[in-house]
Structure formats: C-alpha cells, structure tokens
Structure 1
Amino acid sequence: MAGRGPAPKDPSRRARTNKDPAPLRVIEATPVEQPELPDFEIEVDGELVDFVWPTRTREWWRMWRESPLSAEFTETDWSELLDTALLHARFWRGDHKVAAELRLRVAKFGATPEDRARLRITFAQADEADEKRTTPSRESASSSRYAGLRLAD
C-alpha cells in the first residue's frame, strides 16, 4: 500500500530549525461554490444511456460541500474533486481496482485525521479544546486518589 511516510513532527519539538529551502509563494485565490454533479451519458453495450450517480457518491459530494475544508476550494480544487467523484462512483458500483487511486486523491484534500496531519491542517475547535483542558499536577492527582484512605492503628 502506497503512502507518504509519517506525519510531520511538531516544529516546536524539532532539534534542528533549518529553514525551508524555498520560500513560500503566496497568491490570491478566490474560493468558489461547489458545482453540482453533472448529468452526462455513457456508452453501455454500444448505446448511450444517462449516467446515474450512486446514492453513496451523492452523499459523499454533499459531505465535501459541508466540510470546513471546502470553504477555500477554488475552481481547480472542485474540478479535481469532481474527477475523484467519478472514481468514487466506480468504486461504489463494484470496481475496486480504483480504490488505491481514490484513496490517494481524497488524501490530497485532507479526508482523514492522518491526511490533515500530513498537510498540517487542524480544526480550530481542537485548539480551543486543548486550551480549555487542564492537566492536573502529580501532587493533586495522587492526593485526590488517596483522599479517603487512613492508616490503620
């Protein structure tokens, strides 16, 4: 199974702080709304028939529309994801030969927690939860564990 290696280490934990070899290029991009899944015909046994998107693929497409990740998708992002939707449809129709390509393509969009870690994407609510979490000190944790115990005479 192909992969891209382990998730990158948190920069604050690195021993070396080498700078990136190339500076980050910042461009302006305009996010666009998700297009509808298109209607088209495919050839089946020499005849053209309307392509019907599997229900699971329609749900998958809606999931991407509602994902916070898609808020910044550009026209090219949606185009790539639309091509991926065709692979998704083939997969859910039983063509499992496309599974590896499908997995690689959705990984580029941050579909799983591992993918998002590799892409250095985190959801804001996770940061807020970390800030709210308090770690008890060793002393308070142990004293609360043994609070009701007494030495026997």
Structure 2
Amino acid sequence: MAGYGPPPSENKRRANKDEFEEQAVTVADDGTLHGPELPHDALYTPRTLDWYETWRRAPQASAFTGTDWQRLHMLAPLVDAFWLEPSTKLLAEIRLNESLLGATHVDRMRARIKIEAPKLVSRPAAGVPDLSERRRRLMTDAS
C-alpha cells in the first residue's frame, strides 16, 4: 500500500520557497468557535461531542467549507461507535478522514496550512511594577 511520501519541507533556503508561500493557507489560532453545531447532538456521547467541539475550535476549521463540515457530521457516528466499542477498523477510518482535514502537524504541512500563533501581549502581572519607564529614565540619565 502506497503512502503519502515525506511531508513538504519548510526549509527557508530551498529554491521553490515562494511557491510554498503562494500555495499556503494561513489560519489564526485564536480559539474562535467555527462551523455549525453537530446535528442531533443529543444522540452522541459526551466524548464525541468533545471531539466535535475540538474540531470547531481548531484553527484550520476557519478555512472549512460546507463539505468539510459534512464530512465531520458523517464521521461523528463512527467516532461515537469507537468510544462505545473501540476497534482498529473504526480508528483507521477516523484517522484517515481526520488526516484529510489537517488533524496533525504533518497533515497540515501536506495541505499547506500554516497556523499563525496568537499574538502575545506583554503586560506586567498584578502587583508587579512596570520597569520599562524606569529603564528609559536610567538610560537617559546615563547619557
């Protein structure tokens, strides 16, 4: 059985870097909830509902179209069946479908999906003085 081969390289020195950058889809990891709720959610176990909510919060979900959400809806009964009675056949089918949606780092590399890390805002903790103003004054006094 043939595989996918090695994932694409993100080597910054390779010759076709611009081609990768043009084809890549960049999504933000902002924790936003995407997509529709799982239909008939009362029928599923809490673990399946958690699985679906994890997909809804996944950064790549911001790029999902209707067919991607339909695939997850069709996959939910298999995930539910897996939690009720785990089997390697179910796990293989789930893994294959999730791979096509960019579940793992390697899957996202193959799909040219880049996740932009959230921007960190630097703020001093409560009760800790902000030393940047003091540093600035010391630097100006020293000159």
- Tell me the TM-score range normalised by the shorter chain: 0.5 to 0.7
Question: Structure 1 residue 111 and structure 2 residue 103: aligned?
Answer: yes
Correspondence for 2:85: 94
Distance 1:84 1:58 in 2: 12
Does the Cα contact within 8 Å between 2:35 and 2:69 map onto a contact in 1? yes
Aligned to 1:4: 4
- Deviation >3 Å, runs of 4+: 10-15
1:83 is displaced (CA, Å) by 1.0
Please identify, of 100-109 and 116-125, the stretch whose mean Cα deviation from structure 2 is larger.
116-125
> In the superposition, relative to structure 1, how do residues 83 and 90 fare at CA in structure 2: closer, same or farther (>3 Å)?
same
Aligned-residue offset at 1:99: 0.9
Aligned counterparts of 2:91 and 2:7: Cα–Cα separation in 1 = 22
C-alpha distance after superposition, 1:41-89 (max 9, x if no partner): xxxxxxxxxx731111100111111122111211111001111222211
Match of 2:116 among 113, 124, 129: 124
TM (normalized to structure 1)?
Answer: 0.56
One-letter amino acid of the counterpart of residue 39, structure 1: H
Are residue 36 (structure 1) and residue 37 (structure 2) matched?
A: yes
- Counterpart code for 1:7: P
Between the two proteins, what is the percent identity of the paired residues? 40
Query: Which consecutive residues of structure 1, in runs of 5 or more, have no partner in the other structure?
Result: 25-32, 41-50, 130-153
Seen in structure 2, the aligned counterparts of structure 1 residues 94 and 3 have a Cα distance that, compared at 3 Å, is: farther
- State how far apart, in whole Å, the 1-side matches of 2:49 and 2:90 are: 18
Q: How many equivalent residue pairs?
A: 105
Letter of the aligned partner of 2:101 in structure 1? F
Greater Cα radius of gyration, structure 1 or 2? 1
Matching residue of 1:81: 72
